[in-house]
Amino acid sequence: MDQIDNASLSQAGDVARGLLDLLATATLITLAVAALVAVAILLNHLARRRLVDRLTAPRLAQMRALNERYRQALGPEVDALAHLRQHVALPSKDAFDRYDPTAGLSAYLTDSAPSLAAVPADTWRAYAAEARAIVDSTPRPAVPWHLLWSADAPHEQATSQLREAELVHITWVWSYVSPKGRNRYIANRAFDAQDVYVALVASEERARHEASREHQRALMTPSLRFDILKRDGYRCQLCGRTAAEGARLEVDHKVPVAAGGLTVPENLWTLCHDCNNGKSAKEL
Ligand SMILES: [Zn+2]
């Protein structure tokens, strides 16, 4: 009895040892496979990065030289645009819908960075064009199959790194939060040097229009006013009433100055105060 028990005990011990050995071997194999996979991932990562570095290195050097060259022309204030992030909180949903981020950028430049707004727009355009040319010169390399990588990935990574190195990186965020925070609307746009150029051209255009409107208003002299009243027989051209009949006569632009109307006799007519106010700034 005892002998049999001993034999079966030692047999059980052998089985347990065998299981433990198997477990140890399995663990070793798992660890070895995991280590191999980790090494493969690391090598893959390094090889991908080398591929991207090979594409970007010469162009990054070009970009830095370009930035140095233009930093002189643009002035030290340009460094503030390198990673500028602006957040505009709007007072209503309507204002949010109608918000024009480019106009926001041009107002920001004029008000907060006057020395940058004073740089000729063409300088910004020239920088933007040269920076774009550097980014666009990035070739699309053939991706070796063992990198298990999409054919466009290295080119995409390289160009986004190059764009990051450009002088201007503005993130423009605008939002509206309804009372009690029930509805939130948020949008954003990234601006680069080309956008700065567009914003400055737009603000120059606005200034020119404003100047021309002021000019048109200044052309409305008392003597011209009198000529128009006389031409129209001192009579409202809509209702026909005269000053004698109690009408307060005014000389009005048919196409409003704000809409580009000129101060010339063809665009002027006599109206009574009532008809003029009914008409307001609408075009007839
Ligand atoms: Zn009238």
d(CA 168, CA 82): 5
Ligand 1 centroid to Cα of residue 243, in Å, is: 10
Q: How far is CA 32 from the centre of its chain?
A: 49
Q: Specify the long-range contacts of residues 202-210, CB closer than 8 Å, at least 24 apart.
A: 202/102, 202/103, 202/106, 203/106, 203/107, 203/109, 203/110, 203/117, 204/121
Ligand 1 centroid to Cα of residue 242, in Å, is: 8
Which among 186, 210, 234 is the end of a domain? Answer: 210
Q: What is the DSSP string of 90-112?
A: -SSHHHHHH--HHHHHHHHHHHH
Ligand 1 centroid to Cα of residue 219, in Å, is: 24
In a domain, 28, yes or no: no
Which among 172, 192, 210 is the end of a domain? Answer: 210
Is the pLDDT score of 284 beyond 90? no
Share of the chain above pLDDT 90, in %: 69
Ligand 1 centroid to Cα of residue 238, in Å, is: 5
Are the C-beta atoms of residues 175 and 90 closer than 8 Å to each other? yes
In a domain, 31, yes or no: no
Ligand 1 centroid to Cα of residue 258, in Å, is: 22
Q: Give the pair of three-digit tokens for residue 107.
A: 């107002």
- 237 and 175 part of one domain: no
- 114 and 247 part of one domain: no
Q: What is the mean pLDDT of the chain?
A: 91
In the prediction, which pLDDT does 117 show? 86
In the prediction, which pLDDT does 170 show? 94
Write the pLDDT tens digit of every residue in 4-56: 566 677 788 888 899 999 999 999 999 999 999 999 999 999 999 999 999 99
In a domain, 257, yes or no: yes
Ligand 1 centroid to Cα of residue 46, in Å, is: 82
First vs last Cα of the chain: how many Å apart? Answer: 122
Instruction: Please state the domain count of the chain.
Output: 2
Write the pLDDT tens digit of every residue in 68-109: 999 988 888 888 888 899 999 999 999 999 999 999 999 898
Domain that holds residue 157: 40-210
Confidence bin at 210 (pLDDT 50/70/90): confident
In a domain, 6, yes or no: no
- 136 and 46 part of one domain: yes
Please give the angle made by the CA atoms of 269, 256 and 225, to the nearest 5 degrees: 35
Ligand 1 centroid to Cα of residue 245, in Å, is: 11
Ligand 1 centroid to Cα of residue 225, in Å, is: 17
Entry pTM: 0.66
In the prediction, which pLDDT does 197 show? 93
The position carrying tokens 């198997």 is 22
Ligand 1 centroid to Cα of residue 113, in Å, is: 50
- 81 and 53 part of one domain: yes
